[in-house]
Every structure is written in C-alpha cells, then in structure tokens.
Amino acid sequence: MSDLQQVPGPPPGGEGQATAKPVPLDPGAVLADLERFWAAPERDAFRGTIPGRIAGSKWDQRVPEGTENPYWEIIRQLPLDEPMPWNPGPEPMTHMFTDGPERFRYFTDRFALCKTFAWSVCSPGDITWMRDVLGGRGVVEAGAGGGYWARQLRQAGVDVVAYEPLELADNSYVAREWTELLRDNHDAPKHHPDRALFLCWPSYSDPWAAQALACYTGDLLIYAGEDEGGCTADNAFFEMRAAEWDEIGDSPAHISYWGIHCNLTAYSRKGT
C-alpha cells in the first residue's frame, strides 16, 4: 500500500451524515503529541520547509486569564499550510506529509476535534469581537451542539441561552457537552427577540437554520459557517439572509481549518 493510501481519512458519513457515537478527544494528549513534533520539527515533503504555526506568530491570540479555551490551545499549535495570495491568513492542518521517517504525520482528526469542541474554530479574538458587537446584549443560540461557543461567551460575561434539541447520547455530531444547554426545537429563538441570534455551523442542506432565522423577530444575527454553496445550512437560509439582513462586519480574528472557508459575521435586520 502506498503512503498516500495509508493516510487516515474522515470517519464514514462526512459532515452531512450521522455516524457512530463519537468519543471525546483528550486535549492533553493532542497537545503532548504536538509538543513532541515542535521539539524536533520535520520539513514539509513538498516544499522542503519547516511549517509555521499560530503560536508565537502575528496571528496568535491570548486566552484571557481565568478562562480556558482548550480548542484554541490545540489550533494554535497545529502546523500551517503555506499562505496563498487569495488567503494570506493561517490555515491550520491536522496532518502533513513530511520528509521524516514517518512520511505522513497525523496529529489528530478534524472531525474528532469538531465533535469534541465545535465545528467552527472559536478563538479568543472571536469572543472579544462578539462581545463588542453585542454591546451588552444577551445571545440566544439555536443548534448549540455541545455548547462550546456558549461556554466561551459565558466565560467572557455574555448572557447566553443555548438550545440543542438532541440529548448528548443521541447526538452523533457531539462527543461532549461544555456548559448548560436547554432542550428545545430550532424555533426556540422566537422566545428571545431581545437577544442576538447566534447560529454556528448549521448542518449542511438541513432546514433548521432557516427555521431558526424565520421565527426570530430580533434585529441582530451572528453567523459562523461557510457561505452559500458551502457545507453549512440550506438554500432557504441564505435566500432569507440576503433578503432580510445586511452584513455589518466580520471577525478579523477568526481562524478556519485548511480548505474550510468559515467566517464569523454579524448582520442587522434591514430597516432597523
């Protein structure tokens, strides 16, 4: 079997299909493996250079004292793809081809990271940006998954009501829960017009994001995910967003995985 054939791939089903109940990653074990790599880094087999990382670079972000963000601590230590003209920002990779004895260096699996933490990377700068955009308002989150973003916002002093319809034992996209979650369907935002609506990485081709947005009568939407044509939400959501909402800004601190075009963007309802 060739080196390429030995590359571990994503779990069966991908991002749009349910899989077996995931097991949460041990952040300490992942960080320990990354520490060993950076103690004697291997060169990229294609470029002949040692890859960069966010830690210690101009893109690095400090986790505020008294808070924890294990997801970010892993992301900032992953090797980076080479910057491209169309995307000069960092793109963390969970694997790389090396010129070392292993040939292929596998740090962890993106699907396992996403199921343990969140499908959209949550940086400290993202939380600061959201807090500034909110201006003291609370948040209602529909489809909160394991509540990782809700946990980070709560650590920053933001009042969050987070809803997830599935119990942890029944959710094949979530390996663990990080904070208190309420159980309700995706029309729960209708109860919170005074809060901003937060939607994080809505399921691909699934109607729940459109359902949540349609019932929400407030005036501030914050969305983390790919844009129309990507791997999040469905056409109805993007049509509704284009017709009824105006973009007011992106988080400049948002980081996404290599090959994943995720943004964190705020929108105001048109006419407000």
Is the confidence at residue 202, as pLDDT, over 50?
yes
pLDDT confidence of 272, banded at 50, 70, 90?
Answer: confident
The structure tokens listed for 74 are 């892993």
Is the confidence at residue 132, as pLDDT, over 70?
yes
* DSSP collapsed to 3 states, the chain: CCCHHHCCCCCCCHHHCCCCCCCCCCHHHHHHHHHHHHHCCCCECCCCCCCCCCCCCCCCCCCCCCCCCHHHHHHCCCCECCCECCECCCCECCEEEECCCCCEEECCCHHHHHHHCCCCCCCHHHHHHHHHHHCCCCEEECCCCCCHHHHHHHHCCCCEEEECCCCHHHCCCCCCCCCCCECCCCCHHHHCCCCEEEEECCCCCCCHHHHHHHHCCCCEEEEEECCCCCCCCCHHHHHHHHHHEEEEEECCCCCCCCCCCCEEEEEEECCC
Give residue 12's pLDDT: 31
Task: Parse the chain into domains and list their residue ranges.
Answer: 118-269
Domain 118-269 grouped into CATH 3.40.50.150? yes
pLDDT confidence of 1, banded at 50, 70, 90?
Answer: very low
Is the confidence at residue 85, as pLDDT, over 90?
no
| Residues 224-256: tens digit of each pLDDT | 999 999 999 999 999 999 999 999 999 999 999
Give residue 8's pLDDT: 35
pLDDT confidence of 47, banded at 50, 70, 90?
Answer: confident
pLDDT confidence of 14, banded at 50, 70, 90?
Answer: very low
